[in-house]
Amino acid sequence: MEQPGTDGDADLAAGPDPELAATMGFSGFGKKARTFDFNALFEQTRRTAAERSRKVLEEREKAAAQKEEHGSQRDGVDRATAPSHTITRIPSGDSESSESEDSSDEELIGPPLPPRGPEEETEDDELIGPPLPPGYKGNDDDDEDEDDEEENMQDEDENPVKRIPDSHEITLHHGTKTVSALGLDPSGARLITGGYDYDVRFWDFAGMDASLQAFRSLQPCECHQIRSLQYSSTGDVILVVSGNSQAKVLDRDGFPVMECVKGDQYIVDMANTKGHTAMLNSGCWHPKIKEEFLTCSNDGTVRTWDVTDDKKHKGVFKPRSAQGKRVIPTSCTYSRDGKLIAAGCQDGSIQIWDRNMNVHTKFHCRQAHAPGTDMSCLTFSYDGTALASRGGDDTLKIWDIRQFKTPLNSVTGLPSFFPMTDCCFSPDDKLLVTGTSVKKGGGHGKLLFFERETFKKVYEIDVTDASVVRCLWHPKLNQIMVGTGNGLAKVYYDPIKSQRGAKLCVVKTKRKERQAETLTQDYIITPHALPMFREPRQRSTRKQLEKDRLDPLKSHKPEPPVAGPGRGGRVGTHGGTLSSYIVKNIALDKTDDSNPREAILRHAKEAEENPYWVAPAYSKTQPTAVFAEVESDEDETDDKPEWKKRKI
């Protein structure tokens, strides 16, 4: 075994002068690399670790013995319960072979473990974390609470009424007229409301405080009532259906993205036009394809559109009566999977097409509701097998599209005065919700809940003293939005069952109004201002008028309007061109110059008495003017024969 460093010293001694080498910059070139015996190093490290472990074990035994003696004297703890530790000592005089055979588990490397108290000896009683709150119950009580919660969940499953979030409500003031449209984005962050006052208001639950003010209001369709509002499946654009023939698409902030084209109203076949030609009734987005939406109109067509193409519709569906005549669709919707398109018509029929086949209907029911009434809403259940219809004949019906001839259940006596009265399914598909209409002063509008299987009325909410037009039950928020006939939009929620939404804004305190906003006039208060900046004291009215008369600007008389072509840099009232001036004078000239001879001789006497221009130069040579005498018309007419006389 070589000793480290011996060869290097010998080489340095035999090498060149160290000072010279350092000066030249190659002092380290002549050194030989050191060699290490790793086996010897590992053996030395193992021995050191074994010695440290032995010392640690001895100290730990002493500390444990002292604690046992102290614990037996003070608390009388039974030593038999203490765990026994088997410690194997490693004698210092053992050979290398015996040390290499020892287990690595018996060798403890590192700092000593903290001492254990008698109360930490049982692992079951160990508690990690902060102290338990007062009134905490043990594991048995936890099991009982879990059992109670499971029982409560089972009760809620059996009784869906307990899932209705109606313990709290907030009221959003849209305006004074009917709230005819409601829309909520898929995440539940923003609500939009539209009404008969042409306004569309945007409400942000996360940005509102307790004052519940909309952050934006606009009129996207000018003077047309809003009939439907809906966010797309991704929530980035909004479909606006109003009383005109062109639907609009807005972005989340209300800026226009696309407007549908208007069709040619003089073409008989509506399939040959590019768009609707009459008032829209309803519209909705495709549940899967974010660029496609659906509209229906009084022109007797249901059209599909693509947001990226505003020049022409994507597809057209034409509902027909039993005699093959055109009927008007008043409501339309997609199925949950987007494969079917349903339309409710004025003749009381419900017609359903395959989205890819627009010629013949796939399902239809001719006498779904009373003929001549507007079907205000169609909606599919979440499982896609049932269809609910809200008719203008004051009924609510549910259909199985696989057996579409007769309804599964129906309810009558639900008054509806609006062509957009809603109905919707609960998120668990067990309840069906709709609103009722009332006349002014005729009671309160109600939100009614019917069980889907039996159509039994299980619950009702007394909303307000006006009609309930729109209702929307959001599945993620578990909150119910209601639009009423007196301009209110109400949100019903439960602090425990509901998520986010209205819960975010009711906890925020109302912002204080700034003092600057309450002042009618802004004053700049400068205590040490110069006299020229001080506000003058108000004088009497008479003195103020006298002072104004001395001011040339205030006493300046307004100039009258310019008559003629204009002067002094001012344009005339009838234009500044010469032609306009001449035309004006010709129109206003009322002198009768029908006899030019008399017009010339009118100035003869004045020219003879006061010659000024030409007459003085020819005064000596000018002959005397002799004019013919004017003969009367009567004499001329007497000499003429009868056939030459002018007939009057």
pLDDT value of position 116: 52
For residues 175-193, average pLDDT: 92
For residues 196-208, average pLDDT: 90
User: Tokens in use for 536?
Assistant: 């003058």
Q: Which residue has the higher pLDDT, 408 or 637?
A: 408
Ranges 37-51, 109-123, 146-160, 515-529: which has the least confidence: 109-123
Nearest of 343, 406, 380 to residue 351 by alpha carbon: 343
E strands present in 347-404: 350-354, 363-365, 377-380, 386-390, 395-400
CA angle 383–387–393, rounded 5-degree value: 155
DSSP state of 97: H
Residue type, 541: T
For residues 537-547, average pLDDT: 76
* DSSP line for 273-302: SSS--S-EEEEEE-SS-TTEEEEEETTS-E
Rounded CA-CA distance 116/66 in Å is 12
The β-bridge partners of 465 are: none
Rounded CA-CA distance 495/478 in Å is 10
Residues in the chain, total? 648
Q: What is the pLDDT of residues 230-248, one digit of tens each?
A: 999 999 999 999 999 999 9
Task: Flag whether pLDDT at 262 surpasses 70.
Answer: yes
For residues 589-597, average pLDDT: 66
Rounded CA-CA distance 631/254 in Å is 87
Rounded CA-CA distance 518/535 in Å is 22
pLDDT value of position 281: 93
* Buried/exposed code over 588-623 (b: 16+ C-beta within 10 A; e: otherwise): eeeeeeeeeeeeeeeeeeeeeeeeeeeeeeeeeeee
Q: What is the pLDDT of residues 316-367, one digit of tens each?
A: 999 998 888 899 999 999 999 989 999 999 989 999 999 888 778 888 888 8
For residues 201-206, average pLDDT: 91
Ranges 233-237, 432-436, 555-559, 580-584: which has the least confidence: 580-584
Q: What is the percentage of the chain residues whose pLDDT exceeds 70?
A: 70
pLDDT value of position 572: 63
pLDDT value of position 333: 94
Q: Which residue has the higher pLDDT, 27 or 563?
A: 563
User: Tokens in use for 456?
Assistant: 């039994």
The β-bridge partners of 173 are: 488
The radius of gyration of the chain's CA atoms, rounded to the nearest angstrom, is 51
Nearest of 322, 323, 246, 257 to residue 283 by alpha carbon: 246
Nearest of 488, 19, 482, 553 to residue 212 by alpha carbon: 488
Assign 623 to helix, strand or coil.
Answer: coil
